[in-house]
Amino acid sequence: DAGVTQSPTHLIKTRGQQVTLRCSPKSGHDTVSWYQQALGQGPQFIFQYYEEEERQRGNFPDRFSGHQFPNYSSELNVNALLLGDSALYLCASSYADLGNEQYFGPGTRLTVT
């Protein structure tokens, strides 16, 4: 059983560019959440998708947007990249039931120069 997978592993972009990160949830999971983790800090919640809709959003600007596909996979898009967007981006999947455990992918390391 494949766990949560993310692509690419690493990415280097220039300020002002746009980036798309991808996530495939653990088999059977229908909910995908995205987190940003700056170096030396805990992850910060960006948003969550369920049934192809954004269900919840953290305190991130509109430059951060996402999408969930019918197969439950998801994309995170970031426009007009800033140096401060450099971080590890983590995807987590779970069942819609609130009591269920979340499983995290290996992350995508984004560096903005």
Partner 1 sequence: KQEVTQIPAALSVPEGENLVLNCSFTDSAIYNLQWFRQDPGKGLTSLLLIQSSQREQTSGRLNASLDKSSGRSTLYIAASQPGDSATYLCAVRPKYNAGNMLTFGGGTRLMVKP
Going residue by residue from 20 to 59, which x/- string records binding to partner 1, judged by CB under 8 A? -----------x-x-x----xxxxxx--x-x----xx-x-
Tell me the C-alpha distance between 76 and 20, whole Å. 6
CA–CA gap between residue 110 and residue 113 (Å, rounded)? 10
Q: Is 60 in the site for partner 1 (CB under 8 A)?
A: no
Within 13 Å and on the Cβ side, how many CA atoms surround 112?
Answer: 18
Closest approach of partner 1 to the CB of residue 76, in Å: 15
- Compute CA distances 58 → 1, 12, 21, whole Å: 30, 25, 18
Q: Is 11 in the site for partner 1 (CB under 8 A)?
A: no
Q: Return residues touching partner 1 (CB under 8 A).
A: 4, 6, 31, 33, 35, 40-45, 48, 50, 55-56, 58, 88, 90, 92, 94, 98-107, 109
